[in-house]
Amino acid sequence: MWSILKREVKNYIRKPLLWLGVAIVIFMVFQNVSPYLNVHYLAEGETIVNDYPETYRDGDVFDGYVPADKGLRRELWEERIREVLISEFEMDHAGAQSVIDEMKEMDIAKACRHLEGCSYYDAYYEYVDTAYHKGTREEINSYIAEKLEKRRFSYYFSRKFADLQDCLWDFLQPFY
């Protein structure tokens, strides 16, 4: 058995057409995969065009949203509270700013209870909505690069291949 296998391997090694075919296949795979080896979701000068608000609870990085850190999240939340106090509670800018200034030293839970005393009950939900904000091109690309550093590209590529295989299997199952 081993002698047959050795002979077949030697025959394959001697054939230059085989090596030419292997080289062409490797080149074609590299051509198809090379755009995915670098993180460039947004190219230079490109922007994401959508009509979503600045903060969007269900936002995803492909929609242009990145997670907000605590400081920025608090600023976005206070700005949203100010807008609601002015538009819905019909406060003037000075009154809304005084309410925001009272909340500056409070943590989120205490500030929400303070706003409930002012009959504003959606403050916590507004805070939840500020988890993601519209990011710049650099923020989006760095966020994607940071997330992709945890595992190699082949991990994600193989998972996508497995998803495709699963879809094809489900589609072709009735024909077997």
**What is the model's pLDDT at position 97?**
93
- 161 occurs within a structural domain: no
Query: pLDDT (tens digit, 0 to 9) for every residue of the chain, 176 residues total?
Result: 888 888 888 887 888 888 888 889 999 988 887 777 666 677 777 777 777 787 777 777 878 889 999 999 999 999 999 999 999 989 999 999 999 999 999 999 999 999 998 889 999 999 998 989 888 888 888 888 888 888 776 777 777 666 667 766 776 666 65
Tokens of residue 123, six digits: 């403050």
Q: Give the structural domain span for 85.
A: 69-130
SS3 155: helix
Q: What is the 3-state secondary structure of 65-134?
A: EEECCHHHHHHHHHHHHHHHHHHCCCCCHHHHHHHHHHHCCCCHHHHHHHHHHCCCCCHHHHHHHCCEEE
- 140 occurs within a structural domain: no
- 163 occurs within a structural domain: no
- 77 occurs within a structural domain: yes
- 38 occurs within a structural domain: no
Number of domains in the chain: 1
- 73 occurs within a structural domain: yes
SS3 16: helix
pTM of the model: 0.62
**What is the model's pLDDT at position 42?**
74
By residue count, the chain amounts to 176
Tokens of residue 63, six digits: 């929609």
- 1 occurs within a structural domain: no
- 147 occurs within a structural domain: no
**What is the model's pLDDT at position 110?**
95
Tokens of residue 71, six digits: 């400081």
